[in-house]
């Protein structure tokens, strides 16, 4: 009899839990994870932002949504057209950090800059997972097809650019769209998969929380002195570990030249060389149009935890500045390190919870440094 009661109560619990999750998924947590406002090429090998799009998005690890507006050229912007031919134009190129994943426009560093630089046209060409191969293509396309000559160009480099250059983006000649090595696969979902995707978001949120909690426990273990130089992924993302791990441990391929690790046979070195080549081309294009070129960079959470024991990213960025003949490097590493040393809650102060993207406070720090070095703000 007790077993029947337990089974019946458990069955009731599952029914009420399922009803609760469906209500939560459709009325509270209704905005999509990931990216709307995307326009994919016919063969799914290239993507850019849709024109004149509005969407509410959210991170996997967050219940909060953020708004995204794109203009009639497919650039993320505030939602209000402030463009004027009488203003100088400023270009920003980067990946998800520049796009501003997790934040409304006003809290992204490009959005903050726009509010301070009302006498400039601010163009945000940042798109998640873009890297210098795409930056060069987009810069070339904009100055040729739209006739806009920027007074300043900011290339925001991220640690993931190395893996994106090595493993993802390929160029097929001057003026042609780059293509993504790993094409996007869109398959029609079954009824069960669609139901789970749309109606069991609460369950996924709990699962993500538990997974992140267990990951943080593992990360705290590997923070111990004897493990500090071992490669461990940042929030499950292995693409930033090369700065504190021997390259040889990150690359591998079998006899048929098929990769056996996250990185392919050429690995980190291939990505670094491609970045150098693309920055050199961006530098030449900037000089051709009399544009001041700046390179911006800031650390990930694990960069601050593990350091740069195997590869000095900061020195590499200064090398890129010499190659591209940039006007200056805007290096946020020293300021972020200082905050880490002073604030106990530095992680949640600078970065979104369980994520590597910046909080409004982190974005404000980046914006202020760009204002100081790029625009001589005091």
Assess contact for 152 and 91: CB atoms under 8 A. Answer: yes
Q: Residues 288-316: pLDDT tens digits? A: 999 999 999 999 988 888 888 888 999 99
Is position 220 within any domain?
Answer: no
| pLDDT score recorded for residue 38 | 85
The residue ranking higher by pLDDT, 332 or 223, is 332
Backbone φ and ψ for 120, nearest 5 degrees, come out as: -125, 150
Q: Which segment of 1-15, 81-95, 268-282 scores lowest on mean pLDDT?
A: 1-15
Pairwise CA distance, residues 90 & 183, whole Å: 32
Is position 340 within any domain?
Answer: yes
Is position 15 within any domain?
Answer: no
Pairwise CA distance, residues 283 & 99, whole Å: 22
Is position 218 within any domain?
Answer: no
The residue ranking higher by pLDDT, 22 or 71, is 71
| pLDDT score recorded for residue 207 | 64
Is position 208 within any domain?
Answer: no
What average pLDDT does range 86-90 have in this prediction?
A: 96
Residue 187 has pLDDT above 50, yes or no: no
Is position 202 within any domain?
Answer: no
Flag whether the pTM goes above 0.75: yes
Pairwise CA distance, residues 173 & 62, whole Å: 40
Domain of 120 in residue numbering reads as 38-188+261-374
Pairwise CA distance, residues 172 & 227, whole Å: 42
| pLDDT score recorded for residue 203 | 63
Assess contact for 335 and 296: CB atoms under 8 A. Answer: no
Pairwise CA distance, residues 232 & 330, whole Å: 28
Going from the C-alpha of 247 to that of each of 214, 242, 314, the distances in angstroms are 27, 6, 17
Question: For position 130, which CATH number holds?
Answer: 3.40.50.1110
Predicted confidence band at 338 (pLDDT cuts at 50, 70, 90)?
very high
Which residues on adjacent β-strands are paired with residue 170?
179
User: 13 in helix, strand or coil?
Assistant: helix
Is position 359 within any domain?
Answer: yes
Which residues on adjacent β-strands are paired with residue 68?
55
Pairwise CA distance, residues 126 & 100, whole Å: 8
Residue 344 has pLDDT above 50, yes or no: yes
Of the candidates 47, 58, 162, the residue with the CA atom closest to the CA atom of residue 101: 58
Residue 182 has pLDDT above 70, yes or no: no
Q: Residues 130-179: pLDDT tens digits? A: 999 999 999 999 999 998 999 999 999 999 999 899 888 888 777 678 88
Q: Residues 202-244: pLDDT tens digits? A: 566 666 556 555 655 555 554 544 444 443 444 445 566 778 7
Residue 77 has pLDDT above 90, yes or no: yes
Predicted confidence band at 265 (pLDDT cuts at 50, 70, 90)?
low
Q: Which segment of 14-23, 221-230, 353-362, 364-373 scores lowest on mean pLDDT?
A: 221-230
What average pLDDT does range 74-88 have in this prediction?
A: 93
The residue ranking higher by pLDDT, 223 or 265, is 265
| pLDDT score recorded for residue 58 | 76
Domain count, the chain: 1
Any idea what the Cα angle at residue 75 is, between residues 71 and 79, rounded to 5°?
40
Residue 252 has pLDDT above 50, yes or no: yes
Pairwise CA distance, residues 70 & 216, whole Å: 35
Residue 183 has pLDDT above 90, yes or no: no
Is position 109 within any domain?
Answer: yes
Residue 31 has pLDDT above 70, yes or no: no
| pLDDT score recorded for residue 21 | 60
Q: Residues 190-213: pLDDT tens digits? A: 556 655 556 565 566 666 556 555
Mean pLDDT, rounded, of the chain: 82
């Amino acid at each position: 009899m007790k077993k029947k009661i337990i089974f019946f109560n458990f069955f009731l619990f599952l029914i009420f839990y399922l009803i609760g999750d469906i209500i939560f998924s459709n009325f509270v947590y209704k905005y999509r994870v990931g990216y709307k406002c995307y326009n994919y090429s016919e063969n799914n090998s290239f993507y850019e932002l849709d024109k004149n799009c509005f969407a509410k998005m959210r991170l996997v690890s967050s219940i909060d949504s953020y708004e995204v507006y794109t203009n009639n050229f497919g650039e993320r912007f505030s939602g209000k057209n402030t463009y004027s031919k009488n203003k100088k134009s400023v270009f920003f190129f980067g990946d998800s950090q520049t796009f501003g994943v997790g934040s409304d426009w006003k809290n992204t560093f490009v959005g903050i800059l726009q509010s301070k630089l009302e006498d400039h046209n601010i163009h945000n060409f940042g798109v998640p997972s873009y890297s210098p191969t795409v930056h060069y293509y987009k810069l070339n396309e904009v100055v040729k097809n739209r006739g806009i000559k920027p007074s300043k160009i900011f290339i925001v480099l991220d640690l993931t650019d190395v893996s994106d250059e090595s493993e993802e983006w390929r160029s097929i000649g001057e003026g042609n769209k780059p293509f993504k090595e790993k094409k996007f696969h869109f398959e029609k979902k079954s009824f069960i998969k669609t139901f789970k995707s749309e109606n069991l978001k609460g369950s996924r949120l709990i699962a993500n929380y538990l997974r992140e909690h267990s990951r943080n426990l593992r990360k705290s273990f590997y923070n111990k002195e004897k493990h500090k130089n071992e490669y461990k992924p940042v929030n499950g993302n292995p693409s930033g570990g090369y700065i504190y791990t021997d390259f040889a441990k990150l690359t591998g391929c079998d006899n048929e030249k098929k990769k056996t690790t996250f990185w392919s046979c050429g690995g980190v070195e291939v990505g670094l060389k491609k970045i150098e080549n693309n920055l050199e081309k961006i530098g030449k294009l900037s000089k051709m149009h009399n544009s001041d070129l700046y390179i911006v960079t800031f650390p990930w959470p694990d960069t601050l935890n593990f350091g740069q024991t195997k590869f000095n990213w900061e020195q590499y960025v200064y090398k890129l500045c010499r190659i591209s003949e940039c006007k200056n490097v805007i290096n946020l590493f020293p300021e972020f390190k200082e905050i880490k040393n002073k604030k106990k809650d530095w992680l949640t102060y600078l970065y979104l919870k369980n994520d590597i993207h910046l909080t409004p406070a982190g974005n404000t720090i980046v914006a202020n440094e760009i204002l100081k070095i790029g625009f001589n703000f005091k």
